Amino acid sequence: MISLTVNGHALQFDGDQDMPLLWYLRDIEGLTGTKFGCGAGLCGACTVHLDGAAVRACQTLLKDVAGHKITTIEGLSVEGTHPLQVAWQHANVPQCGYCQPGQIMQAAALLRETPHPSEAQIDEAMSGNICRCGTYTRIRSAIKEAAEQGASQ
């Protein structure tokens, strides 16, 4: 039996402990905001927070999150009012939108660690998140806007 907290809810799972966290979140808990991309932890579409740190849910096994706190895009802000989510809209970041939950979760982890990052720090932190639509300059602008709004708090 695995106990974990997802978006503030204490949960238990009595199934395959070697199941990737991604499939647990999507298929068992119905939290479909976290996306399947490459399945190898390279694209960042499945990024969630494990105790506040960005991790790739496709490469994180359930047995490794026992007793920990997981936050998905649905848990970042129920109403979509987190400064990053608002900044994403202001900067018109999404095109297809597929990678955006992972992008936002990676950016939130960055701003938690570095409340006012430089462009170089943003580029470095976000380099593992791929946007097929190429909205990188808008992503950088949105992160800067969110930082100005105090997204790290």
pLDDT at 151: 66
Residue 115 belongs to domain with CATH number: 1.10.150.120
Residue 29 in domain: yes
Q: What are phi and psi of 64, to 5 degrees?
A: -85, -10
82 three-class SS: coil
Boundary residue ending a domain (54, 76, 98)? 76
pLDDT of 102: 97
pLDDT on residue 152: 63
Query: For residue 127, is it within any domain?
Result: yes
Q: Average pLDDT per run of 10 along the chain, which is 153 residues long?
A: 97 97 98 96 97 98 98 93 94 93 97 96 97 95 93 61
